[in-house]
A = this chain, B = another copy of it.
């Protein structure tokens, strides 16, 4: 079986999750390639070494350029802050590496496009870590929609709301700066629900959005009286139209008190409705209008082995899957796609599409008008 050697850049929050997924994926799934946790690149050689040991990687380096140039690396996995994605990806592509990159793909759609074009030209595989559509419930939702069980989709309501910056005294960090994060809640969170919308419904064609930075400045550090301006939006929303004509609403916030993992969607069709929230990630609610009027209602389906991608985790229905499990499905798709030389999705093209939509929402807000996504580069 072909060896697929992973080089991970950045072992913070989401990097850890990748590492856990790498650890369990070969046991959960009959992967088509032999996954090897080869190397971690960190800010310093010392930190990288610590992380490599903790997370089960063979080697480490304090220089990501060394990692992307290493001939024994097949996949470069980019888990660094947003502003570093482009440079790292382009460099890795130059070395012919496949890329697994966290979202948002880049600081803006132009950068994302450049990355997409480079990857396409180089013929490398790409995967963007949107992960929520790797949750088996999303695949179940997609199956229900594709089979026509809720008829034609006429409305989509989707959110990705969290409250990690709800406290105005929570200190500034890189997510708040344009040069490091690009967008705020839109980039960090809405990217997910937009990807989900495109997965479940269709491409988004036009948008009209609004955004706001509610907390204008934040302490330099915890407890500091020095306030630093926040440069991007805390919350945003948009009304949209899909390619199919379906109407949609997208909401996002990083200050939505009480929402810890508020990625949610309601997909309304002509014959039924699906409702989901990631806070109950193993449940999907399904309503069918063709049932007798006195027996209609939303049915709560718990994930089980009859659903896509669940059985490898557990043969018991309702036993539940977790965040890292959906990341594990993502890793399976990465490894199998590379091993079998097949398309992987969501790739850089989808990453760019999502970026365009995000930029369209911002332009729409700036210019107070509806924007065609195709206006954006």
Contact = CB atoms under 8 A, between A and B. Distances in A.
A101 to B, nearest CB: 19
A294 B306 contact: yes
Contacts of A286: 295, 297
A317 B369 contact: no
A3 B357 CA distance: 52
Contacts of A349: none
A103 interface: no
Contacts of A212: 154, 245, 247
A292 B235 CA distance: 24
Contacts of A278: 318-320
A126 interface: no
Interface in A242-296: 245, 247, 249, 251, 253, 255-262, 268-273, 275, 278-283, 286-289, 292-296
A305 to B, nearest CB: 9
Interface stretch (A24-32, A64-72, A111-119, A196-204): A24-32
Contacts of A322: 282, 313-314, 319-322, 324-325
Chain A residues touching B, majority SS: mixed
Number of copies: 4
Interface in A138-169: 140, 150, 154-155, 157, 162-164, 166-168
A238 interface: yes
A208 B260 contact: no
Contacts of A184: none
Given A256-B273, A293-B306, A302-B297, A320 B23 contact: no
A154 B163 CA distance: 13
Nearest to A306: B294
Contacts of A318: 259-262, 278-279
A20 interface: yes
A294 B273 contact: no
A20 B13 CA distance: 22
Q: Which of A27, A239, A306 has the most CB of B within 10 A?
A: A27
A221 B206 CA distance: 37
Nearest to A311: B16
A93 to B, nearest CB: 28
A218 to B, nearest CB: 13
A158 to B, nearest CB: 12
A258 B287 contact: yes
A258 B270 contact: no
Contacts of A16: 315
A154 B140 CA distance: 32
Q: Which of A13, A19, A317 has the most CB of B within 10 A?
A: A317
Contact of A256 (B155, B166, B255, B306): B155
20 contacts: A155-B235, A155-B253, A210-B239, A237-B247, A256-B268, A257-B288, A260-B302, A260-B317, A261-B302, A261-B316, A279-B302, A279-B320, A282-B320, A297-B299, A300-B300, A313-B323, A314-B322, A314-B324, A319-B322, A320-B320
Interface of A: 13, 16-17, 19-20, 22-24, 26-28, 30, 54-56, 140, 150, 154-155, 157, 162-164, 166-168, 208-210, 212, 214, 235, 237-239, 241, 245, 247, 249, 251, 253, 255-262, 268-273, 275, 278-283, 286-289, 292-302, 304, 306-307, 313-325, 368-370
